[in-house]
Structure 1
Amino acid sequence: MKKKYLSLAGGAVLALGVVTACGAPSNNTGSNASSSGSASTTTHQVEIFSWWTAGGEANGLNALIKTFNKEYPQEKIVNEAVAGGGGSNAKAVLASRMQAGDPPETFQVHAGQELMAWVNAGKMQPLDNLYKSMGLNKVIPAAIINDLSKNGHVYAVPVDVGRGNVLWYNPAVLKKYHLTAPTTMSQFISELKTLKSKGVTPLAYGDKDQLGSVMLWENVLLATMGPQNYDKLWQGKISFNNPQVKQATNTFLELLQYTNSNHSALTWDEADQMVADGSAAFNLMGDWAKAYFQSKGLKEGSQFGWTAFPGTNNDFEYVIDSFGLPKGAKNPTGAMDFLKLVASKQGQDEFNPLKGSIPPRTDANMSLFDTYSKEAMSDFKKDSLVPSLANGEAANPAFETAATQAVTMLISTKNVNEFISALNTAAEENPLS
């Protein structure tokens, strides 16, 4: 849930969310974080930015704000969650504030290149001491910490791990037409053809905020190239002129023949609703869609089902939300209290079941999670882990903005060569490595 970046400091994005507490707060802050916010000088206001306003995301955010207020009654949360634009509206407000030297106490930001845009611009405080005091290096996988670090310093704490390559479906619709969850692209296309012939929207997607279209394209790309070549593409080791990129793009255009005609008017959750009410069979979206379905009272397995996007059965496209401490925050003490909650076992165990994601901590209480999340936890440990372009992990924000515009152009023109040329230009202007 995000999209479209502003071009600040390489074009970063931000937002927030809230998480719970565990035990009394310590007095440790990040290695360079200010600790001047004493009881006599702090504003007692903790502004947090996020784009979590829909379904399970909003439920998780609200529950965690309640917990924070209980654990830290001396602080006042100011919830700056901004709806619309798949996160771009919130990020626009945040970028303006960061440029003006008026940052919130903390903000939601995806691990990887999205976070690094702000780190490279010198806008973030390192959190080395927080990691040390909470023993986070022992419970958060090194691969995740690496995505949050630069030059040996870590700049954010992760709150969740989402999966971006999930194909959701309505079990009743598939049963009615004697179909099963597809595992290969050829089976998928065959089933889409069947559904279209029956007058059912085969594949729902919403790209009003451009999230749905970029995620669909990158998943077809992953299915076509495989995890190793897919990774090399985002590392700048394989050119966009690679024949597999063209093949994937043609397959993407083929899939669009089976989508809803009003996709440009729908957000990601409105496309999910088409699957929920049975007017569409399938939808490709991250596992925050599960929380959306559950917020509507649907039961997993019987009223909504899932499978890895066809051709990506052994891959896990990760989407990691995190929070950091921006330089110039007016209440660094309150910000650090919030970060402690975000990083805590209790906080992550409370937040993730509601959001539909899994905790980055390895000591999560498995009994709190449903069937889908338990499967995701298992897959996260054994599958090939790959980053998401659409959600900020794979490439720098400036490239992502250009790629998003290129996908939008492709949907309109259907010109594959022009699309690949646009990607090559974007990579030249915004190097991937």
Structure 2
Amino acid sequence: MRRRISMLAGAAVLSLTLAACGGSGSSPSADEANPAEATGEVGVFTWWADGSEKAGLDALVKIFNDQYPDLKFDNLAVAGGAGSQAKSVLAAQLQAGNPPDSFQAHAGAELQDYIVADQLEDLSSFYESEDLTSVFPKDLLDRLTVDGKIYSVPSNIHRANVVWANVEVLEKAGLDPEKPPADLDEWFAAMDKIKATGVTPLAVAGTWTQVQLFENIMLATLGAEGYNGLWDGSTDWSSAEVTKGIENYKKALSYTNSDRNTLSDWGPATQLVEDGSAAYNVMGDWAEAKFQQDGMVAGEDYVYFPTPGTEGVFDFLADSFTLPAGAPNPAGAKAWLKTISSVEGQEAFNAAKGSIPARTDVPTDNFSEYQKSAIEDFSSDTIVSSLAHGAAVPISWLNELSTAVSKFEGTGDVDALQKSAASIAEKFSQ
């Protein structure tokens, strides 16, 4: 029986520090592994454990089983949206020298800690053999490449700056669902009207969903260039513009549900919009899959639009999969990577997940109108990287900033959050 991911990893589970597990990023066995000769089990670690996310994984596994009938998929999923719990469990397993055959990670800066710790195989040759550089967009390839190498294969592209809204709630507040607010000031004014009807204006859940709201408000306040500057050092965290962004975030929080920290994940917050208990939810487009799965009709039951103030900007993240150093079945891992990067795999997965394919040659006939609009927007909008979902900064930076944002939810101390964020940025920019 293969080694399984354990939730009982002791104190190490609580640490997000990714220490080296003793593997080598240039393992000959991994380089020579041939997916056509793969046998046995393939252990894949994700945080897609339930709901619409599990439906997406199931669709992908079905394609994998069809393409590789001699391999057995071993589901090592750990529940928790955005990988909030899964990443700490994974870190402990990697440190213990017990990697899965492949694990889910967000494309972008999130991979840096794993790369520095020498825990990932270079997949550049896999990209060449599968001709992936000709079917993945340049904006995506640029975000996947680190020092000329690529360490993960994306299964999709998600958008994080989307507002989902209940049509009936908006209409009862005298708002036109077809005319979204143009900026934050208009949005706050709309939420004042909703609040007056006795309905919660904005649904949010625990820490990572609050961090996603924070990034959206900062993006709307600073614009794409100013937002990017928070992560590359060109925007001063101590500036008046950042102060304004945090003040806007504080105001946005004032419209949210009082039980936000008791909600287990993004699903219950989105459910508040479905039920009409809340008007808006800022959530990635995995919410589209939930709305569809629950029988909601776009334009009738719900509407969607970019977070006010971010029109023309696409807040990017992508679920991707890796080949860990020391993987028990590297040939099987490569078979999994071939499936998720195939046309068939990406079509089935994204139709169920609400996201859009990483490949540009995937048929979209079975995709929702939202997904078709997202494909168009990704090709024309300014692309920025999501903070909450690991595209903008490494896990270690995100972890510390998430703690500061979580503390702010209780204190509302703008100056303290700004100073903490500035200090964290300085620490990780050195």
TM-score in same-fold range (> 0.5): yes
Q: Secondary structure at the match of 1:340?
A: helix
Q: Tell me which residue corresponds to 1:359.
A: 357
CA contact under 8 A between 1:68 and 1:338: conserved in structure 2? yes
Moved more, 401-410 or 42-51: 42-51
2:151 & 2:251 partners in 1: Cα distance? 41
Q: Is the 8 A contact 2:203 2:257 kept in 1?
A: yes
Query: Does the CA-based 8 Å contact 1:51-1:83 persist in structure 2?
Result: yes
Q: Number of residue pairs matched?
A: 410
Cα distance in 2 between the residues matched to 1:10 and 1:398: 12
Which residue does the alignment assign to 1:47? Answer: 43
TM-score (norm 1): 0.90
**Structure 1 match to 2:5:** none
Letter in 1 for 2:203: A
Distance 2:28 2:150 in 1: 10
Q: For the residues of structure 1 that align with 2:271 and 2:148, how far apart are their CA atoms?
A: 44
CA distance in 2, matches of 1:58, 1:299: 21
| Structure 2 residue 132 is matched with structure 1 residue 136 | yes
Deviations 1:58-109 (A, max 9, x none): 1111122122122212111110111136422222221111111110000110
Aligned residue among 401, 404, 408 for 2:402: 404
Q: Note the C-alpha offset of 1:33.
A: 2.5
What does the per-residue CA deviation read over 1:118-154, in whole Å, with 9 as the maximum and x for residues that have no partner?
1121111111221111111101012212222222221
Moved more, 100-109 or 115-124: 115-124
CA contact (8 A) 1:8 1:99 kept: no
Kept in 2, the 8 Å contact 1:11–1:397? The answer is no
1:7 aligned to which of 16, 19, 33:
16
Amino acid at match of 2:296: L
1:187 aligns to what? 186
Give, in whole Å, the separation in 1 of the partners of 2:92 and 2:70: 29
The alpha-carbon deviation at position 37 of structure 1 amounts to: 7.2
383-392 or 150-159, larger mean C-alpha shift: 150-159
Q: CA deviation at 1:11?
A: 11
* SS state at 1:33 partner: helix
Q: Which moved more, 1:255-264 or 1:86-95?
A: 86-95
1:295 to 269, 293, 300: 293
Q: What letter corresponds to residue 131 of structure 1 in structure 2?
A: Y
| Secondary structure at the counterpart of residue 238 of structure 2 | coil
The question of whether the paired residues in 2 share the 8 Å contact of 1:10 and 1:398 is answered with no
Taking a change above 3 Å as real, the CA distance of residues 38 and 390 of structure 1, as seen in their structure-2 partners, is closer
The whole-number CA distance in structure 2 between the counterparts of 1:218 and 1:345 is 32
Is contact 2:205-2:268 (8 Å) kept?
yes
Question: Is the contact made by 1:33 and 1:126 (CA closer than 8 Å) also made in structure 2?
Answer: no
Query: Equivalent residue for 2:382?
Result: 384
- Residue 147 of structure 1: which of 143, 148, 151 is its match? 143
**In the TM superposition, what is the alpha-carbon distance from 1:397 to its structure 2 partner?**
1.3
Cα distance between partner residues in 2 of 1:234 and 1:5: 25
Deviations 1:325-378 (A, max 9, x none): 001011111100000011111110110011000011111212121100011011
Shift of 1:428: 2.4
* 1:46 aligned counterpart, secondary structure: strand
Is residue 393 from structure 1 mapped to residue 402 from structure 2 by the alignment? no
Q: Name the CA distance, whole Å, in 2 between partners of 1:80 and 1:367.
A: 32
Matched, 1:229 2:226: yes
**Residue 58 in structure 1 maps to residue 54 in structure 2:** yes
In structure 2, stretches of 5+ residues that fail to align are: 1-12
Task: Quote the residue 1:18 is aligned against.
Answer: none
Moved more, 291-300 or 196-205: 291-300
Equivalent of residue 107 in structure 1, options 99, 103, 119: 103
- Counterpart of 2:282 in structure 1 is 284
Determine the structure 1 residue equivalent to 2:66: 70
Structure-2 residue corresponding to 1:205: 204
SS, match of residue 325 in structure 1:
coil
Structure 1, residues 2-40: CA drift from partner, whole Å, max 9, x if none?
xx994333799xxxxxxxxxxxxxxxx999824357999
Q: 1:102 to 1:201 in 2, by over 3 A?
A: same
Query: How many Å separate the matches in 2 of 1:352 and 1:34?
Result: 29
CA deviation vs aligned residue, 1:290-329 (integer Å, no higher than 9, x gap): 1111121212221121010000011000011111100101
Q: Which runs of 5+ in 1 are unaligned?
A: 13-28
SS of match in other structure, 1:102? coil
Q: SS in structure 1 opposite 2:76? A: strand
Change (3 A) 1:31 1:146: farther
Matched-pair contact (CA < 8 Å) for 1:10–1:397: no
Aligned partner letter, 2:337: L
Q: CA deviation at 1:226?
A: 0.6
Q: For the residues of structure 1 that align with 2:375 and 2:19, how far apart are their CA atoms? A: 33
Selected match of 2:242 from 233, 245, 249? 245
Paired residue secondary structure (2:157):
strand
Determine if contact 1:317/1:387 at 8 Å carries over to the other structure: yes
Alpha-carbon spacing, 1:38–1:278, altered in 2? closer, same or farther (3 Å): closer
3-state SS of the aligned residue for 1:378?
helix
* Cα-Cα RMSD: 2.2
Q: Is the 8 A contact 2:237 2:422 kept in 1?
A: yes
Equivalent pairs: percent with the same residue?
39
2 CA distance for matches of 1:38 and 1:50? 21
